[in-house]
């Protein structure tokens, strides 16, 4: 989340009115994952969240920790600033940090991320306690909106939006407005709260009125201030309410100065704030899905490809000090504490699963897996607290927010992420099933009378097993991702018999047959060591095992105290020491990690490196808890040491 004193300024030009088509009749949840544009062939879409359940394993454990944190929060306290703003008395103790009654972002979590998270938790795990909390919050918000009369709903007065009009510095009023609208749509779609849709429509009407009388030039100046996914949420609302008016309002949030270079495949991202801009591309992706305008698709595909190849770190996330600070492909010298804001990973993954739906390209699910295992899993502690930055310089550690005094943007996207691990495991295209992620879970496709148990301890286990349950023989194609990191030794057995041919790594294996009850598909996914250089610096590399980034354990870090737990809205611990030098290994170029990394245990995922001046134990980054760690290594020619 960018601080208002460090806003990014973009080139501006006038917005072009784009045409759009009528909405197809879709189920609520389908609208969100978006059907194909009108007239196109069937799209690959996720199953409804209620059809997939996590089975015991690391993901279920993490989602339960997250749910307990959500349940610890009080609806009255969350509503406090909304009520005060609407002139309704509140005796509740407000939360602090970015929810403090003086913070210009208040309401982003309280009325936004929290609603999304409880809606997700309710749909993915049947958590009725959280659903009731969400409904209670919606009722409270409805009263506040009614009191405001104009459709406006926020935890701060409209003054902050006036500041935007007048060019007075202000943090990000529309960013917060987006979170609230998104939370309302989530609880409508995922938990059936139809009042929430009405409230969101009122909010959208207020936005339309707000821009009346504001010139295109002035509007473009105002859009230099971070506005989250306003375009996305308005497109989603248009599709759900089947009202084109909201598409027109969504177009008001487009910035040709940002989108045009991307449409022409030019990377002009240097200097931009990462988490301000990824949501704009998610909005463009949704605009393609709803209107069918392929220019938006080209923008989204180019942007995603460029960020992932030229600007990403090995963990599957991007940015330094929240920005893209270098030319493409040049990340040399960018390792620090303030790498890879967690929200950015959340948003990139959201974009990846949308783009995946257009052509089922395995690449996007490989990238999704990389982020999921390396920079989402592991960023929550045992109490449900989340990280903000993801330090990538050597010698740093994970730091978390406190339960009631921080409420960062990354707290918000974190509680959503950890409530929705089931949303990308299985997709379908008509009657065909896609198994995208290897997570212990059950798909219960009631309409088709088909149940698939995915039984796995992945990544401790190098593979997964699908057990089919069906009341009758059923002809279906099941596609399984053969990840790009596996080897040619991958094997697939159906009922114990090996398939003669298996798809190449980095693609999907299609298995078409008449499935019988009790059929079992076992897929071995051998992992091997490889190294990935830091873009722009061949001498700096990370070690990866299968999908897992390995980190060197550098000894105990702060287990408690202000360096570990941040009791405020600050996002970096105070008095941070200078980072260590990267650990050094003496290897000549062209020498693979199997020559310098020793595997101690495949099931425990433990490795060892004899460095130049020390020996290191390595483990998957997601298993690093309180230790100081190093992800990158300084490699060098052993005959030519510096
Ligand atoms: Zn954030």
Q: What is the pLDDT of residues 580-635, one digit of tens each?
A: 999 999 998 778 999 999 999 999 999 999 999 999 999 999 999 999 999 999 99
Pairwise CA distance, residues 29 & 23, whole Å: 14
- Taking a C-beta distance cutoff of 8 angstroms, is the pair 555, 625 a contact? no
Q: Measure 97 CA to ligand 1 centroid, in angstroms.
A: 13
- Overall size of the chain counted in residues: 642
Query: Full-prediction pTM beyond 0.85?
Result: yes
Q: Measure 110 CA to ligand 1 centroid, in angstroms.
A: 15
Which residue ranges in the chain fall short of pLDDT 50?
4-26, 33-41, 640-642
Pairwise CA distance, residues 296 & 409, whole Å: 27
DSSP designation for 4: G
| Per-residue CA distances from 563 to 89, 385, 397, 405, 630 (Å) | 37, 14, 9, 15, 18
3-state SS string for 66-77: HHHHHHCCCHHH
Q: Measure 322 CA to ligand 1 centroid, in angstroms.
A: 9
Q: Measure 60 CA to ligand 1 centroid, in angstroms.
A: 23
Q: Measure 64 CA to ligand 1 centroid, in angstroms.
A: 22
* pLDDT for position 615: 98
> Quick one: how many helices (H) and strands (E) in the chain?
17, 23
Provide the token pair at 534.
């830091």
* pLDDT for position 5: 38
* pLDDT for position 591: 87
Pairwise CA distance, residues 233 & 180, whole Å: 10
Q: H helices within 192-255, ranges in order?
A: 194-210, 216-222, 230-241, 244-251
Pairwise CA distance, residues 457 & 57, whole Å: 7
Q: Measure 16 CA to ligand 1 centroid, in angstroms.
A: 31
Q: Measure 1 CA to ligand 1 centroid, in angstroms.
A: 5
DSSP for 478-523 reads: EEEEE-TTS-TT-EEEETTEEPS--PPTTEEEEEEEEE-TT-EEEE
Q: Measure 630 CA to ligand 1 centroid, in angstroms.
A: 22
Q: Measure 410 CA to ligand 1 centroid, in angstroms.
A: 4
Q: Measure 520 CA to ligand 1 centroid, in angstroms.
A: 42
Q: Measure 443 CA to ligand 1 centroid, in angstroms.
A: 31
Measured in whole angstroms, how far is the alpha carbon of residue 264 from the centre of its chain? 26
Pairwise CA distance, residues 245 & 201, whole Å: 11
* pLDDT for position 589: 75
Pairwise CA distance, residues 237 & 251, whole Å: 13
Q: Measure 229 CA to ligand 1 centroid, in angstroms.
A: 14
Q: Measure 193 CA to ligand 1 centroid, in angstroms.
A: 27
Q: Measure 276 CA to ligand 1 centroid, in angstroms.
A: 10
Nearest to 259, CA basis, from 238, 231, 289, 280:
280
Q: Measure 102 CA to ligand 1 centroid, in angstroms.
A: 19
Q: Measure 337 CA to ligand 1 centroid, in angstroms.
A: 14
Those residues whose beta carbon sits under 5 angstroms from the ion ligand 1 are 1, 341, 343, 409-410
Strands 432-435 and 474-482: parallel
Q: Measure 537 CA to ligand 1 centroid, in angstroms.
A: 27
- Taking a C-beta distance cutoff of 8 angstroms, is the pair 185, 202 a contact? no
pLDDT tens, residue by residue, 61-91: 999 999 999 999 999 999 999 999 999 999 9
303 burial (CB, 10 Å; 0-12 / 13-18 / 19+) is: buried
Q: Measure 108 CA to ligand 1 centroid, in angstroms.
A: 11
Q: Measure 462 CA to ligand 1 centroid, in angstroms.
A: 33
Pairwise CA distance, residues 537 & 541, whole Å: 8
Q: Measure 594 CA to ligand 1 centroid, in angstroms.
A: 36
Contacts of 146 (CB under 8 A, 6+ apart): none
* pLDDT for position 601: 97
Measured in whole angstroms, how far is the alpha carbon of residue 90 from the centre of its chain? 34
Q: Measure 642 CA to ligand 1 centroid, in angstroms.
A: 39
3-state SS string for 101-127: CCCCCCCCHHHHHHHHHHHHHHHHHCC
Q: Measure 340 CA to ligand 1 centroid, in angstroms.
A: 9
Pairwise CA distance, residues 154 & 160, whole Å: 10
Contacts of 102 (CB under 8 A, 6+ apart): none
Q: Measure 43 CA to ligand 1 centroid, in angstroms.
A: 31
- Taking a C-beta distance cutoff of 8 angstroms, is the pair 316, 370 a contact? yes
* pLDDT for position 238: 98
Pairwise CA distance, residues 106 & 95, whole Å: 9
Q: Measure 170 CA to ligand 1 centroid, in angstroms.
A: 18
Pairwise CA distance, residues 312 & 269, whole Å: 13
Q: Measure 47 CA to ligand 1 centroid, in angstroms.
A: 28
Q: Measure 311 CA to ligand 1 centroid, in angstroms.
A: 18
Q: Measure 100 CA to ligand 1 centroid, in angstroms.
A: 17
Q: Measure 388 CA to ligand 1 centroid, in angstroms.
A: 6
- Taking a C-beta distance cutoff of 8 angstroms, is the pair 234, 267 a contact? no
Q: Measure 548 CA to ligand 1 centroid, in angstroms.
A: 23
Q: Measure 218 CA to ligand 1 centroid, in angstroms.
A: 28
| Per-residue CA distances from 458 to 281, 525, 549 (Å) | 32, 10, 15
Q: Measure 277 CA to ligand 1 centroid, in angstroms.
A: 13
Provide the token pair at 378.
């592991």
Q: Measure 412 CA to ligand 1 centroid, in angstroms.
A: 8
Q: Measure 70 CA to ligand 1 centroid, in angstroms.
A: 18
Q: Measure 79 CA to ligand 1 centroid, in angstroms.
A: 22
* pLDDT for position 36: 40
Q: Measure 386 CA to ligand 1 centroid, in angstroms.
A: 10
SS3 for 386? strand
- Taking a C-beta distance cutoff of 8 angstroms, is the pair 46, 352 a contact? no
Q: Measure 99 CA to ligand 1 centroid, in angstroms.
A: 14
Q: Measure 150 CA to ligand 1 centroid, in angstroms.
A: 30
Provide the token pair at 191.
């938990």
């Amino acid at each position: 989340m960018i601080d208002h004193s460090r806003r990014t300024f973009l080139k501006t030009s006038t917005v072009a009115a784009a045409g759009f088509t009528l909405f197809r009749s879709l189920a609520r949840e389908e609208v969100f994952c978006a059907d194909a544009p009108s007239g196109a062939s069937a799209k690959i879409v996720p199953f409804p969240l209620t059809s997939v359940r996590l089975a015991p394993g690391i993901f279920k454990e993490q989602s339960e920790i997250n749910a307990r944190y959500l349940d610890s929060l009080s609806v009255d306290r969350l509503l406090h600033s909304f009520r005060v703003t609407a002139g309704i008395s509140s005796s509740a103790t407000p939360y602090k940090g970015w929810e403090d009654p003086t913070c210009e972002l208040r309401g982003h979590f309280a009325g936004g991320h929290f609603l999304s998270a409880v809606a997700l938790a309710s749909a993915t795990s049947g958590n009725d306690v959280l659903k009731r909390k969400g409904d209670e919050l919606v009722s409270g918000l409805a009263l506040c909106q009614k009191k405001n009369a104009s459709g406006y709903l926020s935890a701060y007065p409209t003054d902050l939006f006036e500041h935007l009009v007048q060019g007075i510095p202000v943090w990000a009023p529309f960013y917060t407005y987006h979170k609230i609208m998104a939370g309302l749509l989530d609880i409508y779609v995922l938990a059936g709260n139809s009042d929430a849709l009405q409230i969101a429509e009122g909010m959208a009407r207020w936005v339309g009125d707000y821009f009346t009388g504001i010139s295109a030039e002035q509007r473009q100046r105002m859009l230099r201030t971070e506005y989250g996914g306003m375009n996305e949420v308005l497109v989603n609302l248009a599709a759900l309410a089947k009202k084109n008016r909201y598409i027109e309002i969504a177009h008001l949030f487009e910035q040709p100065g940002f989108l045009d270079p991307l449409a022409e495949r030019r990377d002009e991202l240097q200097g931009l704030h990462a988490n301000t801009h990824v949501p704009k591309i998610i909005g463009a992706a949704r605009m393609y899905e709803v209107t069918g305008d392929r220019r938006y698709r080209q923008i989204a595909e180019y942007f995603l490809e460029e960020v992932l190849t030229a600007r990403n770190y090995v963990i599957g996330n991007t940015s330094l000090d929240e920005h893209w600070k270098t030319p493409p492909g040049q990340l040399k010298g960018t390792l620090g504490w303030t790498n890879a804001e967690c929200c950015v990973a959340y948003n990139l993954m959201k974009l990846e699963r949308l783009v995946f739906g257009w052509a089922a390209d395995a690449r996007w699910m490989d990238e999704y897996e990389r982020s999921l295992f390396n920079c989402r899993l592991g960023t929550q502690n045992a109490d449900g607290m989340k990280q903000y930055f993801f330090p990538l310089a050597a010698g740093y550690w994970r730091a978390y927010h406190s339960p009631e005094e921080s409420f960062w943007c990354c707290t918000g996207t974190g509680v959503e992420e950890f409530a929705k691990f089931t949303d990308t495991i299985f997709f379908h295209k008509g009657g065909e099933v896609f198994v995208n992620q290897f997570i212990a879970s059950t798909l219960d496709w009631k309409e088709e009378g088909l149940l698939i148990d995915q039984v796995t301890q992945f990544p401790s286990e190098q593979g997964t097993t699908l057990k089919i349950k069906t009341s009758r023989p059923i002809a279906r194609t099941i596609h399984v991702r053969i990840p790009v990191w596996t080897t040619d030794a991958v094997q697939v057995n159906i009922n114990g018999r090996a398939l003669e041919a298996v798809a190449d790594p980095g693609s999907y294996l299609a298995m078409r047959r008449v499935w019988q009850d009790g059929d079992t598909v076992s897929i071995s996914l051998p992992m091997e060591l490889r190294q990935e250089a830091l873009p722009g610096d061949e001498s700096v590399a990370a070690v990866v095992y299968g999908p897992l980034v390995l980190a060197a354990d550098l000894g105990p870090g702060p287990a408690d105290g202000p360096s570990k737990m941040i009791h405020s809205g600050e996002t970096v611990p105070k008095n941070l020491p200078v980072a260590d030098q990267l650990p050094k290994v003496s290897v000549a170029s062209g020498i693979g990690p199997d020559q310098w990394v020793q595997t101690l245990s495949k099931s425990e995922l433990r490795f060892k490196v004899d460095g130049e001046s020390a020996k290191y134990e390595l483990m998957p980054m997601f298993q690093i808890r309180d230790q100081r760690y190093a992800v990158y290594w300084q490699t060098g020619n052993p005959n030519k040491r510096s």
